[in-house]
Amino acid sequence: GIESMRAGRCRVAFTCFKLAADRGYSKAQFNVGLCYEHGRGTEKDLEKAGFYYCQAASSHHPMAQYRYARYLLQHSPGSLWDRHHKAVALLEQAARAGITEAQAYLGVFYMRGLQPQEKRGLKYLLHAANSGDAQSRYHVGLCYEQGLGVQKNLAEALRHYRQSAAAGNRQARERLQA
């Protein structure tokens, strides 16, 4: 499946992934989810993408946990509280497994939530920033500039903004100019 996808034969890749996914292979389930989410080799279908992400997430596939959590928060029907609770648990698992996207998402989530948990948010932003995520590095700079989860420290804020800008983050460059 992967070789077919790389060669641009998306339909063949989807068929291969689907066969393996239906046999319980979590990596294939994740790939089928991606195919459905992006319409590669099949029609775009977010509900089916969510189903396959859920299957792979239940087998502890970290990136599937992240994708399924995003699906729950953005597309899934049902009780908002239940979806929210499950999504956060999945994001936490994916973040602990080292998925930078999950760390960054949780960092911002905890900073901006209805009941902000700034220290917790900063912890995840730092993990993502230390994994090379320039946007998270920018958010860490904001935390130091505004005293969110840490004591205000403009020198530290500038250091993070510079690192983020050097990695290509436009917002950090603008913040440095301001």
What are the pLDDT digits (tens) for 29-88? 999 999 999 999 999 999 999 999 999 999 999 999 999 999 998 886 667 777 888 999
Confidence at residue 62, expressed as pLDDT on a 0 to 100 scale: 97
Confidence at residue 114, expressed as pLDDT on a 0 to 100 scale: 63
Q: What's the whole-number mean pLDDT along residues 94-121? A: 91
Q: What's the whole-number mean pLDDT along residues 168-175? A: 95
- Between CA 4 and CA 1 the distance in angstroms is 5
What are the pLDDT digits (tens) for 52-61? 999 999 999 9
User: Within the chain, which residue ranges are assigned CATH 1.25.40.10?
Assistant: 1-97, 103-177
CATH, domain range 1-97: 1.25.40.10
Say which DSSP state 1 is in. Answer: -
**Stated pTM of the model:** 0.86
CATH, domain range 103-177: 1.25.40.10
In angstroms, the Cα distances linking 20 to 16, 25, 27, 73 are: 6, 6, 9, 27
